[in-house]
Each structure stands twice: as C-alpha cells, then as structure tokens.
Amino acid sequence: MRPDQLEPELAETVARVRRFVREVIVPAEPAPGDALAPEELTRLSQLAREAGVYAPVSSAAYGGLGLALSAWSPVLQEAGYSPIGPAVLNCMAPDEGNMHMLSLIATEEQKEEFLGPLVRGEVRSAFAMTEPHPGAGSDPEALSTVARPDGDSWVLDGTKRFISGANDAQIAIIMARTPEWTDAQGATHAPGATMFLTRTDVPGWRVGAQIETTERAIAGGHPYVHLEGMRLPQSAVLGEVGQGFRYAQVRLGPARLTHCMRWLGLARRALDTALDRAEHRELFGAQMRNLGLAQALIADSVIDIETSDAIIDRTARLLESDPKAGSAMSSIAKVHCAEAIYRVVDRSIQLCGGDGVSEALPLMQYLLEVRPFRIYDGSSETHRWAISRRASSARRKQVEAGAARLDVVTPGEGS
C-alpha cells in the first residue's frame, strides 16, 4: 500500500520506521553471512526505543506501539528492509507471533509474568510444536509429545525439533497431547492438544542437537528440544485444556503473514539494489535499464511485489474481521509470497551478474534467508493440498445448496 493511502498517524509511524531502518540499522549491518553481535543488538534496540519504533506490533499496555493487525504490513515491510531490522525492532519470529497469541489468550497473571518482559525485550521465547518424524510437522495432528495430569501438576515428555530461538529462549510455549482427565472441580475434559507456557529453566527442558540452516535472521538457532519429565503447575496451561490446535491457528495465521511482510521488505531491498545497478551499468552501448531483457526481469519483480503487497493487505483485514476465513486466506498468501519473494531476489541476483553471487553485494545472503520460507510455517505443497481441499469442499456445498452447476462437455460432444 502506498504511503498516500495510509491514515496520517500510521503514515507517520511508517516514515519513522523507514528513517530509522535506513539511517541507523542499515549502516550497522554485519558483513553478509555474519551474525549481529548481542551487544550491538542491545545498542540498536535501545536506539529504537528512543526513536519510538520499538515493538511496533505488540501490546501498548506493555510498552509496544499496539498497532492493529491491518496496520502491520507497511511497518513490518520497512523493518524487513534490513535482515536485522525485525530483530532490532522486536518484531521478529518467533517472539512476535508468541506475543500476539499471549495478548489474546493468556491470563492477566501470565501477561504480567511473560508478555511484559517479551514486549520490553528483556527475554526471548520459543514455540515448541514441531517434532521429529512421525511426530507433528506439516501435520499438527501427528503430535506425539504427551502431557499427563499428576495431582495438581502436568508432566511433559517428548522430543521437539526445529524449535526456532530455543538456544536463547527464557520462555517457551509447548504443545502437547493431553488425555481425557477430570479437574479438581469434577469436570471431565476430552482428549486433545494443550498449550503450556513456561520458563525454560524448569527441570526437564533440555536443548539438544543443533540444526544448521541456510538463514541466520532468527537468533537462537533451530535446535532439538527434549522434554524429560518436565513438571509444570496448572497455572502453566495457556488458555483451556484440549484447545491447543484451535489456539495454534490464532498464532499461525498472523505469523505466516508477518513472515510475508518482513521478507517482502527484503525483496524490495533486493530490487532496489538491482535497479541501482541497471541505472548505472552500460552493456552493448546502452544503459542496462533500457535493455529489453533487463526490463522484463524488473517488470516481473514489480508485479510480484505488488501482488504480494495486495494479498497481504487483504488477508490482514480478513484476519481481523473473519479469523476463520483469514486463516484460510493466509495459506494462499503464504504460498504466493514465499515463491514471489524468492523470484524477486533471484532476478535481482541475475541482474547484478557476477557481483550478485559474490560477497560484493548482500543478495546471496538474502536468497539464503528467504529460501526456507517455502518450508517454514507449512511447506508450499502442504498449503496447496489444504487450499485445493477447501476449494473442492466449497464447490460441493454450493452444488448441494442448489447453486447453478456448470455443464461439463466431454471431448467429442457438442458442436
């Protein structure tokens, strides 16, 4: 969405974030492939607080800017213009998604203990759902980690895998399967999945083997986590027992979309890099920007960016007005954006030639950052499966409700 289409207050926030990212964060970026030093992250984050751009999408009650979901995209795109921007501004996964879910589901006591420190950047968090095969991965229903009631406690056992940020996390949200059980008031709860909110210094939480990936933007790695007789009190239950899968959708729909927003900002940075190269480089007696093949690459990238921006905006508004429809649309947005963003970065590399695949430019780093997005938060193939199923189901319901059915003409029939 163009700046002139934004409400004045949001446009001013976007402008502040844009200035801070480009004037403060971009000059402080580490060399391509290097991680941002912790002390440098602390320094930059303090500057972001002073500039009034820290935790833009988090609860205002705990120190964030408290922007509505439909206002997130232009802000997160500006933050994502730098690979380290979202981390500096405290709007990076997994913390951003965890903060959003806690603001909607956590009790007031849980918000004070966990949400406040997260928003203020005093701690980091992890979301522990994914498991080694045949456990929960693309199929959450395959959840194998178990939480069993034991007196006034729950005891968790299981192995998690690819738990982003777990190396540095002081807080974790854990998804576990719970059996049918009867609480202290005599109410019986059906079996299902339950979320638990805890500090990670509790006995039974153990970070295991590291998983090295192509991207470096998410600090804290993606390691295994072993839950070994982890005993948690009843107060650790997040929301209601047995409602974990429902709550996961509360988190995952917006979290998919915020990945789209942040990485679309990085795609814009990649295209800007290529446009600067095309403006100043001459080939075969002409400026590169006037060569038809270069123009085609640029045009296709603009198309990918604009369509991604539009579908993000529509999905964000749906998530606010109709969360169920918004969650379904987030699958479509996630597939489109993950693939479109990759194409934009890849074309930018092509336009920059040899420098594009070298450390002379940061474009290869960007490509390594965005490539996993076609797998994270559900692979493109898993989402396509779900999108197709929903489309078929919707059409069957239309036909059953008496909607007009298109005649199907088989080959060889008709005039």
How does residue 62 score in pLDDT terms, banded at 50, 70 and 90? very high
pLDDT exceeds cutoff 90 at 309: yes
Q: Spell out where 236-321 has E strands.
A: 237-238, 282-283, 286-287
Q: How many whole angstroms separate alpha carbon 257 and alpha carbon 333? A: 7
Domain end: 119, 149, 179, which one?
119
Domain end: 218, 242, 266, which one?
242
Instruction: For residue 12, give the CATH number of its domain.
Output: 1.10.540.10
**Residue at token pair 């479509």:** 332
- Does residue 250 sit in the same domain as residue 232? no
- Which of 250, 290, 217, 232 has the alpha carbon at shortest distance from 105? 250
> Domain range spanning residue 363?
246-400
Average pLDDT over residues 131-137: 86
Question: Is 414 among the domain residues?
Answer: no
Instruction: For residue 277, give the CATH number of its domain.
Output: 1.20.140.10
- Does residue 197 sit in the same domain as residue 51? no
Question: Is 318 among the domain residues?
Answer: yes
pLDDT exceeds cutoff 90 at 102: yes
- Does residue 174 sit in the same domain as residue 186? yes
Across the chain, mean pLDDT equals 92
- Does residue 32 sit in the same domain as residue 139? no
What would the DSSP string read from start to end of 317-371? HHHHH-HHHHHHHHHHHHHHHHHHHHHHHHHHHHHHHHHHTSTTSSHHHHHHHHG
Cα→Cα distances 141→137, 226, 248, Å? 9, 20, 11
Q: How many whole angstroms separate alpha carbon 398 and alpha carbon 387? A: 17
- Does residue 347 sit in the same domain as residue 217? no
- Does residue 394 sit in the same domain as residue 252? yes
Q: What is the pLDDT of residue 410?
A: 53
- Which of 68, 116, 70, 84 has the alpha carbon at shortest distance from 20? 84
The tokens for 349 are 């590399």
pLDDT exceeds cutoff 50 at 35: yes
Q: What is the pLDDT of residue 215?
A: 85
- Per this entry, what is the length of the chain? 415
**Is the Cβ–Cβ distance between 311 and 341 less than 8 Å?**
no
- Which of 254, 255, 337, 262 has the alpha carbon at shortest distance from 78? 262
Q: How many whole angstroms separate alpha carbon 358 and alpha carbon 36? A: 20
Indicate the number of domains in the chain: 3
Question: Is 181 among the domain residues?
Answer: yes
pLDDT exceeds cutoff 50 at 415: no
- Which range among 167-171, 294-298, 331-335, 401-405 shows the weakest confidence by mean pLDDT? 401-405
Element (H, E) at 248: helix 244-280
Q: How many CB atoms lie within 10 A of CB 282?
A: 10
Average pLDDT over residues 198-202: 98
Residues 6-19: tens digit of each pLDDT:
889 999 999 999 99
Domain end: 85, 119, 153, which one?
119
Cα→Cα distances 361→32, 88, 275, 277, 368, Å? 8, 22, 13, 11, 13
Residues 370-400: tens digit of each pLDDT:
999 999 988 999 999 999 999 999 999 998 8
pLDDT exceeds cutoff 50 at 233: yes
Q: What is the pLDDT of residue 1?
A: 57
**Residue at token pair 């289409």:** 5
Average pLDDT over residues 33-52: 93
Comparing 34 with 265, which gets the higher pLDDT? 265
Element (H, E) at 39: helix 38-51
How does residue 283 score in pLDDT terms, banded at 50, 70 and 90? confident
- Does residue 274 sit in the same domain as residue 342? yes
